[in-house]
Amino acid sequence: MSDTLLKTPLHALHQSLGAKMAPFAGYDMPVQYPLGVLKEHLHTREKAGLFDVSHMGQASLVGSDHETTASALETLVPGEIKKLGVGRQRLTVLLNDKGGILDDLMVSRTETDGRLNIVVNGACKENDFAYLNERLPADVKLERFDARGLLALQGPKAAEVLAKHAPDAADIKFMSFAEMMIGDIAAVVTRGGYTGEDGFEISIAGEDTEKLARLLLSDADVEPIGLGARDSLRLEAGMCLYGHDLNEETSPVEGNIAFTIGKRRRAEGGFPGADRIQKELADGPSRLRVGILPEGRAPAREGAEIQSADGEKIGVVTSGGFGPTVGGPVAMGYVDTAQAASGTNIQLIVRGKALAAKVADMPFAQHRYFRG
Amino acid sequence: MSIKYTNDHEWAKEDGGVYVIGISAHAAEQLGDVVFVELPEVGKTFAKGDDMAVVESVKAASDVYAPISGEVVEVNQSVVDEPAKVNEDAMGAAWFVKLKASNPGELDEMMDEAAYKEFAENS
């Protein structure tokens, strides 16, 4: 079994750091280090955490000019790509013909005219790339960067730490990126991440990945962080995990990520499943992803049934657990839109018992981005 | 008598005519930081192997099974109030419940310290 798992460029480093490894997205990945999920989570919120996200799919879409490449991608995503500025990044979703989400992805516009960079989820990348190859016109090519590494440095100390080796990094604004040297390592540095904290995602050549990781980990403020804390951090930040909170059935409107649909695109359509999505935008979806705060201390986890205060089934929990920063259980899930207002009393069925809970605004832990 | 263990990493130890039950230090370490413990009510009876309690880390929930049959005569509210105690002292202050055994002979089927140590190392 483990023979068939892929390894990131940091595999040996994870093992030498004492990580507990487990299969994730086809890779042998660190779930936690000796510090443990709880302390890794809190350390990231307090100082800075380093995450190996090299399992994610990095690629470029290349056409003759921006109009060509952006137009091609816009046939598959509802995001505003044509007007994406050079050096800017945006989250959008890859859609199937029913308006369901095949993946969520980051799209960046590079300085090279006609070249967009994308980052997709590791577990989805083979399907995504096959879909892109099948659907993109012949004059727009997909270039995969399977050998590249991707590290995330997240937390309130991230900018200070990175600026010691790359002073310009401190000036990058949220959802923007720049190419720069980190020490003697050539990197593409994007401000943003998956924790709700200020931070960076850093793309480097595969062979430079361990060197950069060691450089950043040598800082007293930086600890390595595993997938366990990555999940609790993104859950508190109200962010979706594909395959759990989003899937091929859910639309971006139902998923409460309608911000991934550009304003012009809402009117014009021209993306897969536009009929459904435009109708949901106009009339409201029948169900909606919401935040949930259980009232007691018992966590409600993925799959827990959600009932109205009257005991009628209205949905299901798609992510849930203990939020270390919140200091109690947090969850998200889909409920009938009529019950989706913040503050609505609901019940969660955990081990056969109904636990009182409320629909709650997300994020559960305040976002702290650097907007300049 | 000495402490005894199950395959599911519970321990039991006789104390003044009742049996103190908890989860092993090895189990606590494997779980990671414990953030939630749910214990049964006093007076509830369990057969050996029944779901008796729940212990949860940030990532996952685990059932705790009754290692022997019996009636709950006392529960340790302090681990409910401070679940992190399970990581600090699983074999001592962070016991879960005390059971009045209905069939003390069941203890004979459990592992002793040396056998459990070997079991835990290889599991």
In the 3-class helix/strand/coil scheme, how is chain B assigned residue by residue? Answer: CCCEECCCCEEEEEECCEEEEEECHHHHHHHCCEEEEECCCCCCEECCCCEEEEEEECCCEEEEECCCCEEEEEECHHHHHCCCHHHHCCCCCCCCEEEEECCHHHHHHCECHHHHHHHHHHC
Looking at the partner chain, which of A37, A231, A329 has a beta carbon nearest the beta carbon of B33?
A: A37
Residue A185, pLDDT score: 98
Contact A322 B54 (CB under 8 A): no
Residue A8 contacts residue A27 (beta carbons within 8 Å): yes
Tens digits of residue pLDDT in A69-98: 999 999 999 999 999 999 999 999 999 999
A280 shares a domain with A294? no
Give the up-direction half-sphere exposure of residue A278: CA atoms within 13 A in the CB hemisphere: 13
A3 pLDDT tier (thresholds 50, 70, 90):
low
Angle at A59 between CA A207 and CA A98, to 5 degrees: 145
The answer to whether the CB atoms of A299 and B38 lie below 8 A apart is: no
Residues A109 and A166 in one domain: no
Is A41 in Cβ contact with B59 (below 8 Å)?
A: no
Q: Are residues A329 and B36, on separate chains, in Cβ contact within 8 Å?
A: yes
User: Is the pLDDT confidence value at A1 over 60?
Assistant: no
pLDDT for residue B122: 85
Closest alpha carbon within chain A to B51: A351
Q: What are phi and psi of B109, to 5 degrees?
A: -85, -10
Would the CB atoms of A324 and B32 count as touching at under 8 Å? no
Bond into A363 cis (ω within 30): yes
CB pair distance less than 8 Å for A36 and B54: no
**Residue A39 to residue B36, Cβ atoms within 8 A:** no
Which residue is closest to A328 within chain B, CA to CA? B35
Q: Could you give the ipTM of this predicted complex? A: 0.87
Q: Same domain for A257 and A186? A: no
Q: Is A366 a domain residue?
A: no
| Same domain as A195, residue A91 | no
Model confidence over A270-292: pLDDT tens digits? 999 999 999 999 999 999 999 99
Look at residue B59 in the predicted model and tell me its pLDDT.
82
pLDDT, position B2: 87
Is B88 within 8 Å of chain A by CB? no
Q: What CATH number does residue A266 fall under?
A: 3.30.70.1400
Q: Which uninterrupted H or E stretch holds A129?
A: helix A125-135
The answer on A167 and A294 residing in a single domain is no
The tens digit of pLDDT for each residue in A42-73 reads 999 999 999 999 999 999 999 999 999 999 99
Final residue belonging to a domain, choices A236, A267, A297: A236
What CATH number does residue A312 fall under? 2.40.30.110
Residues A185 and A131 in one domain: no
In chain B, the percentage of residues whose pLDDT exceeds 90 is: 91
Q: What is the pLDDT of residue B1?
A: 59
Same domain for A258 and A136: yes
Residue A265 phi/psi, 5° resolution?
-70, -30
Q: Measure CB to CB from residue A228 to each of B35, B56, B59 and give the nearest one.
A: B59
Q: Which domain holds residue A294?
A: 286-360
Q: Which among B35, B38, B54 has the least Cβ separation from residue A322?
A: B35
Test A329 with B61 for CB contact under 8 angstroms: no
In A26-36, which positions are buried (b, 16+ CB within 10 angstroms) versus exposed (e)?
ebbbbbbbebb
Query: Do the domain assignments include residue A313?
Result: yes
Q: Both A63 and A134 in a single domain?
A: yes
* Eight-class DSSP state of A4: G
Q: A236-245 pLDDT, tens per residue? A: 999 999 999 9
Asked if A73 and A138 sit in the same domain, the reply is: yes
Judgement on whether residues A35 and A16 belong to the same structural domain of the protein:
yes
Q: Which residue of B has its CA nearest to A324?
A: B58
Neighbouring-strand partners of residue B74: B98
Let me know if residue A365 belongs to a domain.
no
A and B: number of Cβ contacts within 8 A: 42
A241 domain residue, yes or no: no
Mean residue pLDDT across chain A: 97
| CATH code, B4-122 | 2.40.50.100
Q: Where residue A179 sits, what CATH number does that domain have?
A: 3.30.1360.120
Spell out the per-residue pLDDT of chain B, length 123, in tens.
589 999 999 999 999 899 999 999 999 999 999 999 999 999 999 999 999 999 999 988 999 999 999 999 999 999 999 999 999 999 999 999 999 999 999 999 999 999 999 999 887
pLDDT over 70 (residue A117): yes
Query: Does a structural domain hold residue A244?
Result: no
Would you call A322 and B38 a contact, using CB atoms and an 8 Å cutoff?
no
Based on the fold, state whether residues A18 and A166 are members of the same structural domain: yes
Task: Closest CB to B56: pick one of A39, A41, A299.
Answer: A299
Q: Which helix (H) or strand (E) holds A321?
A: strand A313-323
Q: pLDDT tens across A145-199, in order?
A: 999 999 999 999 999 999 999 999 999 999 999 999 999 999 999 999 999 999 9
The full set of domain ranges for chain B reads: 4-122
| CB of B91 less than 8 A from some CB of A | no
State residue A372's pLDDT score.
Answer: 82
Q: Do A321 and B58 touch (CB under 8 A)?
A: yes
Contacts of B32 in chain A (CB under 8 A): 32, 36-38, 228
- Count of domains forming chain A: 3
Q: Across the interface, do B32 and A228 touch by the CB < 8 Å criterion?
A: yes
Same domain, A50 and A153: yes
- Provide the 3-class DSSP secondary structure of residue A362: coil
**Which of B59, B86, B87 would you mutate first to test chain A, the one with the most A CBs within 10 A?**
B59
